[in-house]
Structure 1
Amino acid sequence: MKDPHHPAPGEITLPRVLAALSDPIRLGVVRLLADGRERGWGELRAPVAKSTLSHHMKVLRDAGLTRTRQEGTRCYVELRRADLDARFPDLMGTLLAVAGAEGVGGDVTAGGTGTGGAGGTAGAAGSC
């Protein structure tokens, strides 16, 4: 499968980043990824359907917030923190601190490594 498109660092725009982070689920995913770990989609737990979480992941990737890669049938995602910090100094740190203090996106968690089941897990069905 062809790797998904990721905007170059210079193509990441503030309006797209802020629009992507305006949704609590997407902000929760970013908060979860802020620890610097790459995570499999099957680890993500959110109170939405798999298809909805997949849409949220695409919005984050298209805005330049995350980098997604596919390995076999599994998809992995990581926060593009270095690119974001270089483009918008202090923005991510401030947004993550405020979101954490207010509990925004706190219902997005990391579970096991499975790719299916209940609880809004998202696996790699199809493409990343």
Structure 2
Amino acid sequence: MEKRKSEDIQCSVQQIQTKLSKLEEERKQFLSVATEIVDLCQTNFIPYRELGYYPLSVKDEMDRLEDIEMLKRNEQLLGDFISERKEELKKEMSKLEGEKEELLFQQRRLESQKEEKNGD
């Protein structure tokens, strides 16, 4: 059950990382195109309107940046969640190992008692 949850979380993290990478790549492409257009306009004195290109509005760009930040925060939260679950799993495994050792000890003790009774 824990393994399934861990796999689901890892899948979610991977999807978030993929989306984050795509958004960051789109942002880089946008900045590159915008820079080229600004440079062309400055060197050739061509107004933006004549190019027929209108860069993303400031609001659109801010929304994209907020999406990227939100994805980063979610990725961090998922990472923290996974770490906590791993620690809990380690504690439970340690606890189970202790119980296993105790049961093995009891089994050996019972076997030795049984052998003593059979020897009598």
Same fold (TM over 0.5): no
TM range (shorter): under 0.3
Per residue, is there more strand in 1 or in 2? 1
- When normalised by structure 2's length, the TM-score is 0.25
- When normalised by structure 1's length, the TM-score is 0.24
Larger Rg: 2
